[in-house]
Structure 1
Amino acid sequence: MPLSEEELRMLEQMERALLAEDPKFASTLRGSRMAGSVRRRIILSSTGFVIGIALLMTGVVARQEIVGIVGFLVMLGAAVFGLTALRARHAVPDTPEQALQASQGLTVIDGGRRPRRQRAPRGSGSFMERMEQRWRRRREGGY
């Protein structure tokens, strides 16, 4: 369940107070836990990927399709696991406020979800207006 606005504000105030009171301790807590977790996930995924390659090659050489398929699936799972770890590590702030908070070491997570980005308009007008323009061109014979 996502935190309410008041809870998020209180959490931000607590983080700022901790950072102001003891910045070294705050940076130690913030940096080591995330960096260690990401590093461990990348090492595990690399190991899994190598094991997957070994299984795939074993399946090819021994002409056992099942072993090769399992090796490919292990490789795929390890790659996804590692890439999600890298993506979480290199998350880009979406708003200037989040960029400022990230530079100060403060982050607010809205229930673990990222806000959706709005797409830029592809052409002039809305979808219906573009469809009407196409219809008019067809009726006039101009495709």
Structure 2
Amino acid sequence: MALSDHEKRMLQEMEAALMTEDPRLVSALSGEVKPLGKNRILLGLGLVGLGILVLFTGLISKTTPVGVLGFIIALGGVITAISSIGRPSMPKRKGSSTISARLEQRWDERNNGATD
């Protein structure tokens, strides 16, 4: 059984509202690959490199606190790079609640019209 034009429009509006309200869910359901936060990944890799450099400086100078500091910097870089992989880069839109409010209003009108 095919959908009517009205039902197709309602379905498209619901999809648009879902895309604006929860882009992570839409990308998970559609199987799309999330774009990577390239700037944060580069920052993380830079921190890893700096941390390794400070770590080796501490090893060469036989200064334990400097080596520990280098390890902490490198660990922070790894955490920064890994955490940016799963982060969506789509900004939230301001008008997402208006579509939802419109859909709710239409739903209420449909239900109130059916009971009369």
User: What TM-score comes out, normalization by structure 1 length?
Assistant: 0.38
Question: Which TM-score applies when normalising by structure 2?
Answer: 0.46
| Relative contact order, higher structure (CA 8 A, sep 6+) | 2
